Structure 1
Amino acid sequence: MWRGVIKWVGALALLGVLCAAAGVYWWPQQPLALALPERQDVLEVQIPPKSSVRGVVRALRQDGVQAPETLLYFWLLFSGRSGSIKPGTYALKPGITPPELLDKLARGDQIRYRVTLIEGWNIRQVQRALRQAPHLRFDLPDDPQQWLAAIDRPAGHPEGRFFPDTYLYTQGGNASAILRQAAAAMDKRLQAAWEQRQPGLPLQTPEQALILASIIEKETGHPGDRAQIAAVFVNRLRIGMRLQTDPTVIYGLGARFDGNLRKTDLQTDTPYNSYTRAGLPPTPIAMPGAAALKAAVQPAPDTKALYFVARGDGTSHFSATLEEHNAAVQRYILRR
């Protein structure tokens, strides 16, 4: 009797295995149905670190994947790739098939978040953007003056050392990794610009080109004016004339600047006051973009302009003499 029972149990177990095997073979060929929130066409699922196969299945099910748990478990287990599944946050679209799901998890094709550093930003604005970026871990010192050392670069002033661009990261990414990318990008862009510089510029090093580019970036966002403004500053440097540019004064004021630049500010000496000091300021004053870097090393040729004034429409009027400049100020600033 017991032998008969054992045979039946064995047969049922074998049948179960065969059915499971058939299901594991058949199921991946079918569309994987997802339950998505109303009016959303993407389901986000999160795979925790060090998840077992069962933990992966549990995470998928909890986040809304409507698939038979047993089949999903055995299919992942016998796929041969379950050990390659990477933790992270993934975006699944309706109709994704089991092979597509596994391929996404094994490749680590996670949701990419973006943080954008804007041309002309100073280091405080960069710090704010990194702190506010969603799902980005701010692993940098609170004092930006320590940032370069924190990313294994020679200690120094961090202003202008990071290239403004949009950088991608996955959930839990580090702000330090963003800065490493941005610093490497600035190194590359600056070196490329320096290698294409015009001969005879009053700039001795790529560092000086970076400083000048940061001033150009703050002086205008109009593409047609950058090379002309660069030429004005280059012409002034050549003859030893002070740059007399407001953005350097504002930078030197730091947190004291309240949005209103006063005459006393122009007369108060700081290392960045280009009204009281000749030559370039000691460091960049912002992050210059590619166009400003190019303008700094390729200023407009054959111009004797030493002055410029904003027209009020985003462009500038350029003058070669003080008399012409004063007339332009009367016209565009004083409206007389």
Structure 2
Amino acid sequence: MTDPISPTPPGKTPDPHKASRRANHPLVVAGSMVFTLLVVAIVLGGGALWIGKERFYAPGPLAADKAVIVPNEYGVIDIADLLLKQGVIDDKWVFVGAAVGTRASGKLKAGEYAFSAGASIQQVLDTIVSGRVIEYTVTVPEGLTSDQIVERLLEVAELSGSVRQVPREGSLMPDTYKVTRGTSREDVLRRMARTQDTTLKEIWEKRDPSLPLKSPEELVILASIVEKETGVPEERAEVAAVFVNRLNKKMRLQSDPTIIYGLVRGKGRLERPLTRTDITSPTAFNTYTIPGLPPAPIGNPGRASLEATARPAKSDNLYFVADGTGGHAFAATLDQHNKNVARWRQVERERKVDPAAQPAGTSGTTGANAVD
């Protein structure tokens, strides 16, 4: 009986030529080549993947921190070329492969990015995907006129575009704003206006109900005068009280900054002291010659001045004059006020002898300083 699993009968030797013919069959040869190529591809691919992974996490070539702007229209290869040219990465294709492999190529965001020294490709890719662009601060001081605010924004190199029209006086909220490179100046102004609207509404709702002010607009007008009259935060509510008391008594406000605004109309500064002619010459804003409030704000007051004006101090004071220290001396009577003025005049005379004695921030008599 023959062995059922043996192809060769007992006692016979296998034919080597027949086995050779099977090994050389085209299908066998092709299969062997495909298998070999597949093994080689796996080995090479695995090696390339291992090398790429190493390079993906390895420290990059940057020797120092660097900012790079990624344009809005750039795709993944364009961005890789840019980063390579800027010396942020040293392997374009690892960046591209990682972006495609992690499905981040469609998530890359335009903007200005800060890359730290030695940043890896992984860190660079994560930064651009996250959109963590560089932010700049634009600070607008309280009390500037709208013209002055526009001038300041035009000097900020990181902003873009022109300003078609200067905003209405008093419609902007002075503050520090964060912007990114390329933000338009018009956008900053719109943001300032929205902030002012929101802030004013909130403060007006919490105002002292006894205020002799008919509208939020009148609050802004009076706050703009308070803003210009003192740079001492603790005095704002006292200064506001003087003007509120004067309005209640139908007295003229007699504020020097309103004279100056009427002369220059918010464009620049008055580069000389006020004269008696200035004080007595009528303008729409000169509160020495007009009753009540001027027709519009004389600048853009900050939140603190708006709050102080909405809830002024409780006092009987009707006058104030510079006290020589950067602040003011307040008085409820004309007699006391005249004494305060006399002391201030003495300080002025002493400073003419010794100009170095004048403290910073003192600019002479200000606010309600005329003898009624």
Bin of the TM-score, shorter chain as denominator length: 0.7 to 0.9
2:218 is the counterpart of 1:211: no
* Matching residue within 186, 197, 202 for 1:192: 202
SS at the partner of 2:106? helix
Post-superposition offset of 1:103: 2.2
- Counterpart residue type for residue 283 of structure 1: A
1:21 is matched by which residue type in structure 2?
L
Cα distance in structure 2, aligned partners of 1:317 and 1:133: 39
Q: 1:110 aligns with which of 118, 133, 138?
A: 133
RMSD: 2.4
Instruction: Quote how far apart the aligned CAs of 1:9 are.
Output: 7.5
SS of equivalent to 2:50: helix
Question: What is the rounded CA distance, in whole Å, between the counterparts of 2:285 and 2:71 in structure 1?
Answer: 50
- SS of the residue corresponding to residue 192 of structure 2 reads helix
Asked if 1:262 corresponds to 2:251, the answer is: no
What is aligned with 2:232?
Answer: 222
Conservation of the 8 A alpha-carbon contact between 1:46 and 1:63: no
Counterparts in 2 of 1:168 and 1:278: CA distance versus 1, 3 Å? same
Letter in 1 for 2:109: K
Question: How do 1:1-336 and structure 2 match up within 5 A?
Answer: 15-28=43-56, 30-37=57-64, 42-141=65-164, 143-144=165-166, 147=167, 158-254=168-264, 255=267, 257-301=270-314, 303-335=315-347
Distance 1:204 1:279 in 2: 12
Residue in 1 that maps onto 2:18: none
Contact 2:317–2:331 (Cα < 8 Å) also in 1: yes
SS at match of 1:84: coil
Post-superposition shift, 1:16? 4.5
CA contact (8 A) 2:158 2:183 kept: yes
> What amino acid does structure 1 have at the position aligned with 2:252?
R
What is the CA-CA distance between 1:258 and the residue it aligns to?
2.8
Tell me what 2:9 maps to.
none
Q: Percent identity?
A: 38
Secondary structure at 1:137's aligned position in 2?
coil
Q: Is the 8 A contact 1:214 1:286 kept in 2?
A: yes
Counterparts of 1:312 and 1:34, CA distance in 2: 59
Gaps (5+ residues) in structure 2? 1-28, 350-372
Distance 1:331 1:11 in 2: 99
Is contact 2:63–2:118 with CA below 8 Å preserved after alignment?
Answer: no
Give 1 or 2 for the bigger CA radius of gyration. 2
Q: TM-score, normalised by structure 1?
A: 0.87
Shift of 1:89: 1.0
How far residue 3 of structure 1 moved from its aligned partner, in angstroms, is 7.5
Q: What CA distance in whole angstroms lies between the structure 1 residues aligned with 2:301 and 2:340? A: 28
> In structure 2, do the counterparts of structure 1 residues 34 and 112 end up closer, same or farther at CA, with 3 Å as the change threshold?
farther
Bigger Cα displacement from structure 2, 99-108 vs 186-195: 99-108
Give the conservation status (yes or no) of the 8 Å contact 2:88–2:115: no
Cα deviation 1:140-171 (Å, max 9, x = unaligned): 21x41xx4xxxxxxxxxx11211111111111
The alpha carbon displacement at 1:275 in A equals 0.7
d(CA) in 2 for partners of 1:47, 1:67? 17
1:36 deviates by 3.0
Tell whether the 8 Å contact from 1:23 to 1:71 is kept in structure 2 after alignment: no
Matched AA of 1:89: E
Count of matched residue pairs: 317
